């Protein structure tokens, strides 16, 4: 096949009905969720007004990673794409490891969004029993029942079919995009106090500097910007994937970045200067109970904007609800992709007469229910899910570099400029996010990986999928050093000082890490060097081109697939 030929795409048994706006709004609906409601408070609580810089840096980081997915999504427009790119480039072992991260992050987002909605509703007297604001979890039976009902509702909507879901998500996301813009304009032009940007020590928190800025990443900033990959996950249902996938990915990130930056600006400016002064520090401001329950709602209420506060409370159901809805869709499609690659039982790719993966949706909803258990806090889950997402993202630049070497002649509707340098930059930035999340989050992530590998091995040994791939063990030559090396750097780094597995359902260990033996600056240099070494090691052990042909025959017809 020449570089100018368009491949005949296999729809994998799913209907290709989703257009450019459906794809973009799927990504945008995932980006604009509980992050816009809680991210501004979390960021200002650790970095003060310099949180604006944190949002700007995070937006650039996510855009670089998104551009990698824009090329891969156009090249391989398959269902559950992020779980399948490493499989195509490095084989079954790499596909299993990073595919599991892809699945678990998607399955966990829906319950996080449900928890966020109940937390905001708890600011109302009639809903105070739905969420325990002191512990930051859903603990009471009324809250658990409502949360479970929402998860069931998400599953029911998904079971109706992708066309109906696409129409529903378009309407919901349009609200989710327009309402924050409206609220931001109201706050900026009616209650903006420029003095807040120099209060409590000034724009930068004294003694913190860069560390305070990057500390905004694990408290919700990166989590808020996640979701651009939803268009890629729906690649198998895109009407014109070669044209629309890259545009949807890039466009959704740009829209989300602008909204979040303006939301942070409006939030800081709209805070009552007396409240800021009484708190004394930005950290203490972030711990005020009323603000923790409903940040923008409380700001609007104190500004005597009762009508806006009421709308914000309504949006606290619509925005997270819409994100949870689309992430349940995504997790079922990732399960579909994992089954196509042979990692999980074939039941995950079975579709009904409406071409909906029923088992995948039901299992994703059931796993989401487990995350509603009242053990970890919302913040702990956000941190872990963010890192799982970024671990999934980290595999994409490696796959991009490998596939460019393996299949340089494939038609690419978009090509990320910069060659290996751009791919290495994206890989390094992804590793930075994982590192900044801290030692406890890293160890929790490895525990989750262990659980996933056990489940995949059980499926493999019991032959629950007859299409199980042969094991490509060569990938372990770079995967094991990568995972262990990240752990060593996290252990000696200066982020997340505390016990192993801290926050994972109350489990902990006395082995303390993240105590700052690697100083700020040196740690980033070490991480950069480490990323370069792992990148080229992975390139050395990529699959041969003939093996890639075997794995991508579900995307491209022969002769490429033979």
Which strand (E) or helix (H) includes residue 356? none
For tokens 């910007």, the residue is 225
Q: How far is CA 22 from CA 206, 264, 426, 439, in A?
A: 45, 27, 27, 38
d(CA 369, CA 84): 26
The residue whose two tokens read 């972030």 is 286
Q: Check if the beta carbon of residue 237 is closer than 8 Å to that of residue 17.
A: yes
- What are the strands, taking DSSP E only, across 281-410? none
Do residues 298 and 306 make contact, with C-beta atoms less than 8 angstroms apart? no
**2: exposed, middle or buried (Cβ count in 10 Å: 0-12, 13-18, 19+):** exposed
CA 392 to chain centre: 9
pLDDT in tens, 50-102: 999 999 999 999 989 988 988 887 777 776 667 788 988 998 899 889 888 88
Q: Is 10 left (phi over 0), alpha (psi -120 to 50) or beta?
A: beta
d(CA 454, CA 163): 35
Per-residue pLDDT of the chain (562 residues; tens, 9 = 90+): 344 444 334 444 555 566 777 788 878 877 888 888 888 988 898 888 999 999 999 999 998 998 898 888 777 777 666 778 898 899 889 988 988 888 888 888 888 888 888 877 777 777 777 776 666 667 667 878 888 888 888 888 778 766 666 677 778 888 888 999 999 999 999 989 999 998 877 788 766 677 788 888 877 788 888 888 777 766 666 677 667 777 888 888 899 999 999 999 999 999 999 988 888 888 888 788 778 778 898 899 888 898 999 999 888 888 888 788 778 877 887 888 788 878 888 888 887 776 778 888 888 888 888 877 655 455 666 767 777 778 888 899 999 999 999 988 877 767 888 889 999 999 999 998 888 888 877 887 888 888 888 988 898 888 888 888 788 889 999 999 999 999 999 888 877 654 444 444 444 444 555 566 776 778 889 999 999 999 999 999 999 988 888 877 755 555 444 4
Q: What is the DSSP string of 254-317?
A: HHHHHHHHHHHHHHHHHS-HHHHHHH-SHHHHTT-HHHHH-HHHHHHHHTT-HHHHHHHHHHHH
Percent of the chain, pLDDT > 70? 83
Domains and CATH numbers, the chain: 20-543 (1.20.1740.10)
**Cα separation, 77 vs 466, whole angstroms:** 24
Alpha helices (H) along 438-475: 439-461
The residues facing 499 across adjacent strands are 512
User: Are 305 and 297 contacting, i.e. CB atoms less than 8 angstroms apart?
Assistant: no
Q: Are 413 and 246 in contact (CB under 8 A)?
A: yes
For residue 130, what is the DSSP state? G
Which residues have C-beta within 8 Å of that of residue 224, sequence separation ≥ 6?
31, 33, 35, 36, 39, 256, 260
As given in the structure block, the two tokens for residue 324 are 């949870």
């Amino acid at each position: 096949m020449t570089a100018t030929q368009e491949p005949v795409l296999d729809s994998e048994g799913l209907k290709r009905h989703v257009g450019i706006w459906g794809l973009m709004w799927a990504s945008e609906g995932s980006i604009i969720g509980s992050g816009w409601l809680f991210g501004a408070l979390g960021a200002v609580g650790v970095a003060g007004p310099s949180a604006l810089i944190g949002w700007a840096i995070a937006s650039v980081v996510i855009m670089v990673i998104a551009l990698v997915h824009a090329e891969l999504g156009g090249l391989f427009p398959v269902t559950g794409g992020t779980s399948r790119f490493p499989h195509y480039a490095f084989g079954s072992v790499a596909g299993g490891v990073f595919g599991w991260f892809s699945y678990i992050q998607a399955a966990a987002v829906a319950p996080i969004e449900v928890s966020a909605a109940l937390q905001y509703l708890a600011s109302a007297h009639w809903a105070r029993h739905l969420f325990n604001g002191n512990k930051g979890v859903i603990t009471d039976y009324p809250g658990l029942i409502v949360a479970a009902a929402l998860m069931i509702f998400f599953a029911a909507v998904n079971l109706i079919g992708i066309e109906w879901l696409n129409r529903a998500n378009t309407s919901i996301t349009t609200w989710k995009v327009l309402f924050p813009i409206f609220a931001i304009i109201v706050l900026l032009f009616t209650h903006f106090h420029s003095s807040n940007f120099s209060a409590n020590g000034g724009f930068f928190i004294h003694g913190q500097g860069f560390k305070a800025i990057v500390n905004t990443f694990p408290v919700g900033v990166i989590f808020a910007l996640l979701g651009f990959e939803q268009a890629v996950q729906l690649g198998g249902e895109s009407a014109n994937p070669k044209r629309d996938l890259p545009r949807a990915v890039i466009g959704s990130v740009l829209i989300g970045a602008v909204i979040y930056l303006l939301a942070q600006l409006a939030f800081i400016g709209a805070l009552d200067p007396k409240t800021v002064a009484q708190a004394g520090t930005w950290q203490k401001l972030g711990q005020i109970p009323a603000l923790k329950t409903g940040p923008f709602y409380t700001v609007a209420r104190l500004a005597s904007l009762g009508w806006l506060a009421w709308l914000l409370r309504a949006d606290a159901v619509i925005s997270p609800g819409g994100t949870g809805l689309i992430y349940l869709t995504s997790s079922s499609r990732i399960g579909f992709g994992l089954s196509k690659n042979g990692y999980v039982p074939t039941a995950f790719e079975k579709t009904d007469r409406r071409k909906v993966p029923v088992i995948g949706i039901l299992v994703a909803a059931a796993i989401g229910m487990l995350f509603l258990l009242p053990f970890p806090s919302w913040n702990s889950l956000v941190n872990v899910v963010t890192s799982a997402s970024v671990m999934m993202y980290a595999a994409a630049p490696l796959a991009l570099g490998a596939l460019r070497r393996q299949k340089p002649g494939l038609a690419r509707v978009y090509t990320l400029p910069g060659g290996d340098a751009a791919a290495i930059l994206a890989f390094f930035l992804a590793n930075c996010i994982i590192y900044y999340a801290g030692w406890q989050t890293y160890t929790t992530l490895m525990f989750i990986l262990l659980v996933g590998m056990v489940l995949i091995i059980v499926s493999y040994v019991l032959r629950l999928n007859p299409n199980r791939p042969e094991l490509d063990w060569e990938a372990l030559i770079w995967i094991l050093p990568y995972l262990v090396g990240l752990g060593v750097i996290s252990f000696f780094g200066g982020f997340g000082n505390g016990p192993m597995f801290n926050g994972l359902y109350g489990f902990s260990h006395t082995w303390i890490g993240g105590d700052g033996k690697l100083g700020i600056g040196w740690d980033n240099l070490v991480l950069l060097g480490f990323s370069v070494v792992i990148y080229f090691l992975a390139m050395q052990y990529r699959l041969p081109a003939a093996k890639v042909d075997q794995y991508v025959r579900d995307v491209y017809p022969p002769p490429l697939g033979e």
